Structure 1
Amino acid sequence: MDVIFNVYLIISTFCILIPSISSLNEIKLGVILPGDPKFAWSLSKVLPAISYAIENVEKQNILPNHKMIINYKDSNCSETIGPLAAIDMFMNKSADVFIGPVCDYAIAPIARFSPHWNIPVLSAGALVQDFDDKKEYKLLTRVQGVYSDMAKFFVDTVASFNWTRL
């Protein structure tokens, strides 16, 4: 259920950003995620959630006269395959937004290229603090906090309750 909620949140957020491309009748979602189901954010787990989110956007008529199209590629969680998938989507004009990748080595080059292509990147990955640099990753939006924030939360919780053992 968390995956469905997060994907719905991502799609809804993207819909708010649509005025910049409102002249389009088609909105192409370029989904770049690992195909291997061992990953929490694999294509087999996320594509049904994206389809569900799109159905809800259409039912609520959030984007009248627009149709969302899902184009997807397997990133293999690879620093080579993932960026090549994004380059293919850019060259084929099959993405107005990238959803994913989630693996750090795959997302880093895509998030660097995306401002040059004017294609935003929405990801549940990119959890290392380096991705905070908005000069380098201008169009990257992360839907989760970074590892250091999670660690700080944990330390603050332990201190707040005066725990001495875990």
Structure 2
Amino acid sequence: MQISQTNSQRQIGKQNDTESASAKPRPASLDLIEVPVAREVVNSIQISRRACLFPMLFLLFLIGLVFGPQDCVADCREEPARDCEAICDASGRNCTIRALVLLPDDNMYQASLPRVLPILKVAEQQIRSKSLIPPHIDFEWLAHDTKCDASLGVIKAMDGIIKQCAQVIFGPVCDYSLAAVSRITKYFNSQGTPLISVGGSTYDFEQKKTDCNDEFYMLLRTGMLSFETISELTINVMKR
């Protein structure tokens, strides 16, 4: 019995050696091919998520800005309204939303004008194709390079509001620039100017923003994560 078991084990070992020897080594070129393919898949997933996110933001923004109640205003200071602040003319058929985009014109940053501005325009096309807004409402994109600088971000924001009469602001994303601009947007125009940003991951941006006494009133963060939530996740994982 022992001799037969030993012979069978030897035969199995020889068979495994033969299979491993007959197996051809995997060409290194396949790995080089799979890496770009994987990156393309990941990029397509990221683009699809962005394409779903921005139309929803536009929908929520337009519902609140165009079709919302007229008494829902900031009133953080007494300032007479300018004629250019109106989205539509007297007839109500010619409407233009002037959107100020404050981002660095440098692809060194993940959220830059060359990357984000085309996505915003694609989002506009999508909500038009789905008839989420009336066809007589147009968008005017007012792009300004902030260079991720806090002081320049404030200057560009004031230029967009005073000279171009912007009605909504997208960006900044850099925390210092975002903090400087979002502190004063509640005083822009006669009723304040909403600011939408994917930045603001630090703790201060997560505080209450429901009235004029709040520091970052009129700021809408669309980011899913923050430094606080990431730290809480890390602590919970370490506890387990």
Query: What's the TM-score bracket when you normalise by the shorter of the two chains?
Result: 0.7 to 0.9
Matched, 1:51 2:132: no
Q: Which amino acid aligns with 2:142?
A: N
Paired position in structure 1 for 2:55: 8
Aligned length: 160
In structure 2, the CA distance between the partners of 1:44 and 1:130, relative to structure 1 (3 Å rule), is same
Identity percentage of aligned residues: 24
What is the CA–CA distance in structure 1 between the aligned matches of 2:215 and 2:185, rounded to whole Å? 10
Instruction: Give the alignment of 1:93-132 within 5 angstroms.
Output: 93-117=164-188, 118-132=192-206
Structure with higher Rg: it is 2
Paired position in structure 1 for 2:39: none
Paired position in structure 1 for 2:219: 140
Following TM superposition, by how much is the alpha carbon of 1:49 offset from its aligned partner in structure 2, in angstroms?
0.5
What is the CA–CA distance in structure 1 between the aligned matches of 2:231 and 2:63, rounded to whole Å? 31
Maintained 8 Å contact 1:15/1:62:
no
- For CA contacts below 8 A with separation 6 or more, give which structure has more relative contact order: 1
With 118-127 and 61-70 compared, the bigger mean Cα shift is at 61-70
Instruction: Give the alignment of 1:35-50 within 5 angstroms.
Output: 35-50=105-120
Paired position in structure 1 for 2:36: none
In structure 2, the CA distance between the partners of 1:131 and 1:80, relative to structure 1 (3 Å rule), is same
In structure 2, the CA distance between the partners of 1:9 and 1:156, relative to structure 1 (3 Å rule), is farther
Following TM superposition, by how much is the alpha carbon of 1:158 offset from its aligned partner in structure 2, in angstroms?
4.1
Which stretches in structure 2 are left out of the alignment for 5+ residues?
1-46, 71-85, 89-94
Maintained 8 Å contact 1:29/1:69:
yes
With 27-36 and 90-99 compared, the bigger mean Cα shift is at 90-99
What is the CA–CA distance in structure 1 between the aligned matches of 2:87 and 2:172, rounded to whole Å? 27
1:77-122 deviation per Cα after TM superposition (whole angstroms, max 9, x unaligned)? 0011111110000102442110000011111121111111111000
Q: What is the aligned-residue RMSD (CA, Å)?
A: 1.9
In structure 2, the CA distance between the partners of 1:147 and 1:9, relative to structure 1 (3 Å rule), is farther
1:60 to 116, 130, 146: 130
2:163 to 92, 95, 106: 92
Which stretches in structure 1 are left out of the alignment for 5+ residues?
none
Following TM superposition, by how much is the alpha carbon of 1:37 offset from its aligned partner in structure 2, in angstroms?
0.2
Q: Which amino acid aligns with 2:147?
A: N
What is the CA–CA distance in structure 2 between the aligned matches of 1:5 and 1:155, rounded to whole Å? 31
1:61-90 deviation per Cα after TM superposition (whole angstroms, max 9, x unaligned)? 222121111111011000111111100001
Maintained 8 Å contact 1:103/1:126:
yes
